[in-house]
Structures are given as C-alpha cells and as structure tokens.
C-alpha cells in the first residue's frame, strides 16, 4: 500500500499514524500541494478532488478522504467497533471533524501559519474563528466527561480529531482555557505505538 500525502497536513497524518500503530506496511510519497502537485491530471486519476491524502492499494485501487482511509486501515481492530451503535458513535465524531472542526480550526492554521499571506487573509480568519472556538468547546465538554471521544478507549474518532486540535494555536486558537482537551492530547500521545503529529510534521 502507498500513501500519497503532505507532511504539513493533519489529514495526511491520520492514516499514516494508523498504519504505524497497527504495524501495517505502508510506502509514503510526499506530494507538494503548495506547488499544485495534487491538481495535475495524473494525480486526479487517483483523486478527482485533487487533494491528499490518497491511499493506493496493491491492485491500483485508490481511496481518498482521510477518515475513509482511517476506517479502512482500522477495520478489524479495537480502534473501529463493529457493533452498530458503537460504530455510529465513532462515525459521528469523524463527520463532526470534517464538518464542524477541520474547516475552521485547520483552515485557520493554513491561512495564518502556512499560506505565507496571513495578512491578506485577516477577514477570512476572523470569519472562521467563532466556529473554530465552538468546535473546541464541543471537545472540551465531551472530554470533561469522558477520557475518549467515543466508547471506553482510544479509537479512530480520537485519531481524527487529535492532529489539528494539537496545533490549534497555529490557527490562533489557545488551548489554555481547555484543560480537558489538553489532558486528552497527552493521553493520545501516550498511546503505545502511536507516533505524535510532531513526528509527521518533522518529515520523518
Ligand atoms: N476532506 C479531505 C480534505 C483533504 C484536503 O483538504 N487536503 C489538503 C491537505 S490537508 C490538500 O490536499 N490541499 C491541496 C489543494 O487543495 O490543492 C480529507 O479529509 O482527506
């Protein structure tokens, strides 16, 4: 299996980290998204949406969307329950991540920290801010009552929400007033065999 990704991306970290955690053999190829490498016709053959991550199987089939890849790589493990309600609870957090968290928390980080044009994006960053704060409050509320986002242990729900939350400060969101979120980040980073986001960011 081969993962096409970019080392600055939390979305790309998620499937890479799951493969590391499960000891799955995974080749990794860096795609320079800032230079438009994901938008070429050849890359769009792997993902019509022209984005990373994309998982390519040995038989050539390609799977985009970080959380779909996460579920595929976690299938059959303790990180993705099979019982209907427990599984739906995990999926609920994956949908929340893509719909209520990543578009605000990760997008703010991109504009502020990675775009190289933070000042030009000031108005947009201000627009994203209330929804980003709301998403982080949702996590704080949940994690004040439970150690993990879904069920009794670490799952793909935690892995989906961990990377961009852990670097929320790069998008202008402070975790100082979110003690339950900070404690959860420490718990995630203490999961045996799970490399931290910082390792992916460093390009290793
Ligand atoms: N919903 C997608 C989002 C993928 C996405 O936005 N990828 C970004 C990197 S985090 C990308 O490839 N951007 C390059 C571009 O849009 O040209 C997922 O979760 O995989």
Per-residue pLDDT tens digits for 3-28: 999 999 999 999 999 999 999 999 99
φ/ψ of 95, rounded to 5, equals -70, -40
Q: Which CATH superfamily is domain 2-78 in?
A: Glutaredoxin (3.40.30.10)
For a substitution probing ligand 1, which of 51, 67, 101, 106 has the most ligand atoms within 8 Å of its CB? 51
Residue 58's pLDDT is: 98
Q: What is the pLDDT of residue 95?
A: 98
pLDDT tens-digit profile of 91-138?
A: 999 999 999 999 999 999 999 999 999 999 999 999 999 999 999 999
pLDDT tens-digit series, residues 34-78 = 999 999 999 999 999 999 999 999 999 999 999 999 999 999 999
Q: Are 119 and 58 in contact (CB under 8 A)?
A: no
* Single pTM value for the model: 0.98
Ligand 1 nearest-atom number relative to CA 31? 12
Mean pLDDT score of the chain? 98
3 state SS of 4: strand
At 10 the pLDDT is 98
Please report the pLDDT score of residue 25 as a whole number.
97
- Which protein residue's CA is at the shortest distance from atom 5 of ligand 1? 51
Which part of the chain is CATH 1.20.1050.10? 84-189
Ligand 1 atom closest to the CA of 53, numbered from 1: 20
Answer yes or no: is pLDDT of 173 > 90: yes
Instruction: State the closest ligand 1 atom to the C-alpha of 33, by its place in the atom list counted from 1.
Output: 14
Q: For residue 53, say if its preceding peptide bond is cis, omega within 30 degrees of 0.
A: yes
Angle at 194 between CA 72 and CA 53, to 5 degrees: 45
CATH 3.40.30.10 residue window(s) in the chain: 2-78
Residue 165 has pLDDT above 90, yes or no: yes
State the CATH class of domain 84-189.
mainly alpha
């Amino acid at each position: 299996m081969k993962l096409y990704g970019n080392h600055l991306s939390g979305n790309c970290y998620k499937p890479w980290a799951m493969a590391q955690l499960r000891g799955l053999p995974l080749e990794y190829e860096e795609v320079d998204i800032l230079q438009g490498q994901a938008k070429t016709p050849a890359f769009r053959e792997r993902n019509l949406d022209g984005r990373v991550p994309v998982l390519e199987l040995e038989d050539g089939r390609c799977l985009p969307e970080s959380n779909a890849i996460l579920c595929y790589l976690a299938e059959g493990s303790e990180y993705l329950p099979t019982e209907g309600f427990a599984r739906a609870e995990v999926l609920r957090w994956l949908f929340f991540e893509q719909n209520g968290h990543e578009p605000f928390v990760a997008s703010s980080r991109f504009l502020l920290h990675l775009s190289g044009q933070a000042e030009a994006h000031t108005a947009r960053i201000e627009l994203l801010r209330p929804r980003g704060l709301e998403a982080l409050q949702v996590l704080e509320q949940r994690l004040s009552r439970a150690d993990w986002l879904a069920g009794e242990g670490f799952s793909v729900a935690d892995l989906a929400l961990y990377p961009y939350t852990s670097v929320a400060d790069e998008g202008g969101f402070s975790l100082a007033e979110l003690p339950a979120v900070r404690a959860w980040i420490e718990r995630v980073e203490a999961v045996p065999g799970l490399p931290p986001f910082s390792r992916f960011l460093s390009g290793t």
